[in-house]
């Protein structure tokens, strides 16, 4: 599965959008415009883009709280996402969810979940519903490395394995769960080994290599779409360039380690490849950068100009009808 030149440029645009969106979020958080917790996706953008090109728009995506990038990749509008960050009524979750709960059921972006591992059984449930109804959708479940040490991981993968459900599990191994390195938290360092217990194929992939991931995940998605086959698992090895959330003192890693990881910045690698392959010039990429700057500025403007919910609406949307 390879991308057309148009898709390759679009993927560059998407990854730059995610990066700029996140940088603006950090600024807005520091200025007090965004409250609560804020977990940035900077450094992990390639995976969101890979999921976009490896799936159909009607496939399900569900993830943890580090969800801004994948929401943008799933086609949720930047303005409405930024409005959600700022708690505005025009936000994708009407301003009630905030950073960790970005969702759009029509686009099959099922969130945005704050409890580590809590969304994994939901992914199994989404896939069970499709299997039961005879829909040929695939569910992509992204998760942090930390969630593989949680009970839900084992329950959800076991049931998906037993029932051969159409799920592609993707662990985003960014080397840390908050301030704890994978080495200190997981009894096995190769997280793919955990899939063996649940009878599913598993592979470690380079989480900074967009083309490689589109290929690998794309093939897996089509394999899983066949109801005979059952789930697969990926461990995408990547790195987060910023702290776990805003206000992380980062005492658990050195500046040198971060600088070293930044040499494998997925956006930089992709730009290099586009130029090398003659798909774009540096000027064309800079132009995309300028476009992104304007689009994200427009998203922030839209969010800031949107109304906050009224106090009397406090109890709306608490229960579904
Ligand atoms: C059940 C549960 N335990 C603890 C927490 C607190 N917590 C929030 S994020 C996090 C680390 C998870 O790390 P990882 O799964 O690697 O995801 P990353 O933040 O690296 O994307 C923890 C322990 C939580 N949200 N839920
Ligand atoms: Mg992690």
Could you tell me the domains of the chain?
5-301 (3.40.50.970)
Residue 151 beta carbon below 6 angstroms from any ligand 1 atom: no
Q: Which residues pair with 62 in a beta bridge?
A: 141
Give the ligand whose atoms come closest to the C-alpha of residue 41.
1
Q: What ligand 1 atom has the least distance to the C-alpha of 172?
A: 21
Q: What ligand 1 atom has the least distance to the C-alpha of 245?
A: 19
> CA-to-CA distance for 229 and 19, rounded, in angstroms?
36
Other CB atoms closer than 10 Å to residue 128's CB: what's the count? Answer: 17
| Residue of 112, 115, 146 to mutate, ligand 1, most atoms within 8 A of C-beta | 146
pLDDT at 116: 98
pLDDT at 185: 97
The residue nearest atom 11 of ligand 1, judged by CA position, is 177
Task: Specify burial of residue 308 (Cβ count, 10 A radius: 0-12, 13-18, 19+).
Answer: exposed
- Sign of dihedral through CA atoms 305, 308, 313, 317? positive
Residue 69 beta carbon below 6 angstroms from any ligand 1 atom: no
Q: How many angstroms is it from 41 CA to the middle of ligand 1? A: 14
pTM: 0.98
Q: How many angstroms is it from 122 CA to the middle of ligand 2? A: 20
Q: What is the mean pLDDT of each run of 10 residues along the chain (321 residues)?
A: 95 98 98 97 98 98 98 98 98 96 98 97 98 98 98 98 98 98 97 96 98 98 97 98 96 97 98 98 98 98 97 89 74
């Amino acid at each position: 599965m390879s991308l057309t030149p148009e898709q390759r440029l679009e993927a560059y645009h998407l990854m730059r959008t995610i990066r700029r969106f996140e940088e603006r979020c950090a600024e807005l958080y520091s200025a007090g415009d965004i409250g609560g917790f804020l977990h940035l996706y900077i450094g992990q953008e390639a995976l969101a883009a890979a999921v976009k090109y490896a799936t159909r728009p009607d496939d399900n995506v569900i993830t943890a709280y580090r969800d801004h990038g994948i929401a943008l990749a799933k086609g949720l509008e930047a303005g409405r996402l930024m409005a959600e960050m700022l708690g505005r009524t025009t936000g994708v979750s009407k301003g009630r969810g905030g950073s960790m709960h970005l969702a759009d059921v029509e686009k099959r972006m099922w969130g945005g979940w704050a409890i580590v591992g809590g969304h994994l059984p939901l992914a199994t449930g989404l896939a069970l519903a499709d299997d039961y109804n005879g829909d040929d959708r695939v569910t992509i479940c992204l998760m942090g490395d930390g969630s593989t040490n949680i009970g839900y991981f084992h329950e959800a993968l076991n049931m998906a394995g037993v029932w051969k459900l159409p799920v592609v599990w993707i662990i985003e191994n960014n080397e840390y769960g908050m301030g704890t390195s994978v080495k200190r938290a997981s009894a096995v360092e190769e997280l793919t080994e955990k899939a063996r217990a649940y009878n599913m194929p598993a592979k470690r992939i380079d989480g900074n290599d967009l083309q490689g991931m589109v290929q690998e995940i794309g093939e897996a998605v089509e394999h899983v779409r066949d109801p005979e086959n059952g789930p697969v698992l990926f461990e995408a090895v990547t790195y987060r360039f910023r702290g776990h959330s805003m206000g992380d003192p980062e005492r658990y890693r050195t500046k040198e380690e971060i600088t070293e990881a930044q040499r494998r910045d997925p956006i930089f690698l992709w730009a290099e490849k586009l130029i090398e392959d003659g798909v774009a010039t540096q000027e064309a990429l800079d132009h995309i950068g300028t476009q992104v700057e304007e689009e994200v500025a427009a998203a922030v403007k839209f969010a800031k100009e949107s109304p906050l919910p009224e106090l009397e609406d406090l109890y709306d949307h608490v229960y579904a009808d």
